[in-house]
Amino acid sequence: MNDARTMPAAFFGHGSPMNALELNRYTHAWRAFGQAVPRPRAILVVSAHWYINATAVTAMPRPRTIHDFYGFPQELFDVQYPAPGLPELAEEVSDIVQPTWVGADIDSWGIDHGTWSVLRHAFPDADIPVVQLSINQFKDFGYHLDLGARLAPLRDRGVLIVASGNIVHNLAGISPELAGTGFDWAQRFDADAKERMLTDPAGIAGLDAHSDFASAVPTPDHFIPLLYLAGLAAAAGDGEARGGVPRDGAAAPDGTTRVLVDGCAYGSLSMTAYTLGLDVPAAAGTGPAAQAPDGVPADGTNL
């Protein structure tokens, strides 16, 4: 088990699964994050791609690598992320979040590309146990924000909590000509989300009233993971309440939210990522985020 330090947490804008194979300024930031994090006991991931009709947690000892996308090259389907599971963590999650009910999934899911496309860069050895928490599609934003806050005690048990989605995720609006930027509405929504994440994380749920919300979030699956980091940040408060102090030159106060890397891609995706309780040295990578495969409509790929 990890020592007594409070583990950080993070949200990643994961974008195209091709980011798993490419080096760019986003994936370099993911690698820098992994190098800055104290070794966790386990990683609990809330991925946009496990969006189902229940709240559940994976509880198998050897989760499979899931290739839940279409139209990409065989090289991507050949990727495996053979991290072990940690079945006992399912019981811990269930106990911590009571009275919210969480089911144990022993055979239906595994590690999807919203998880392994990021972890392949952050933790390339795949030797840290990985557990996924599903997104219950029938619950409102308040439920997910609260559930994120309820997970906070895991940070003191050596568990790294990671959320993976995209703050702006409109696949129908993808424009290959705008590889390194976003439409005005995408940049505006991403900027307003950033202001809330850095000053009032609990207020992130109120973005459903934003004038650009319908364009930025046509479906909620990729936005909801951000609510989990926001809930954790709200639970941590300003860091003073948690007794958070910088540790080993790498940690920020436990309640401090930082931008890991920011930016929009292909017009209608936000690749912005945040950390909680961790300062990460600036990464040296350059280049735009990976794109969807040529000749395949982005809204048919499940990226």
Indicate the pairing of strand 257-261 with strand 264-265. Answer: unpaired
Q: What contacts 212, CB < 8 A, 6 or more positions away? A: 185, 186, 188, 189, 192
In a domain, residue 3? The reply is no
* Residue 45 Cα distances to 242, 269, 279, angstroms: 23, 21, 20
User: Which residues of the chain fall below pLDDT 50?
Assistant: 1-3, 238-250
Identify whether 167 is part of a domain: yes
Q: What pLDDT is stored for residue 2 in this prediction? A: 40
To which H or E segment does residue 64 belong?
Answer: strand 64-65
Domain assignment present for 181? yes
pLDDT the model gives residue 161: 98
Q: Return the pLDDT at 238.
A: 39
Q: Summarize pLDDT for 169-191 with one digit per residue, the tens.
A: 999 999 999 999 999 999 999 99
Question: Is residue 167 a contact partner of residue 226, using CB atoms and an 8 Å limit?
Answer: yes
- Contact criterion met (CB below 8 Å) for 58 and 110: yes
| Residue among 129, 112, 212, 123 nearest 164 (CA) | 112
DSSP-assigned beta bridge partners for residue 103: 56
Residue 2 in any domain: the answer is no
Sort strands 42-52 and 130-136 into parallel, antiparallel or unpaired.
parallel
Q: Does residue 136 lie within any of the structural domains?
A: yes
- pTM (predicted TM-score): 0.93
Residue 106 placed within a domain: yes
**pLDDT per residue over 20-51, tens digit each?**
999 999 999 999 999 999 999 999 999 999 99
Instruction: Judge whether 4 lies within some domain.
Output: no
- Give residue 4's pLDDT: 57
Please report the pLDDT score of residue 237 as a whole number: 83
Domains in the chain, number: 1
Residue 1 lies in a domain: no
Parent domain of 109: 9-300
Residue 113 belongs to domain with CATH number: 3.40.830.10
Task: Tell me the average pLDDT of the chain.
Answer: 92
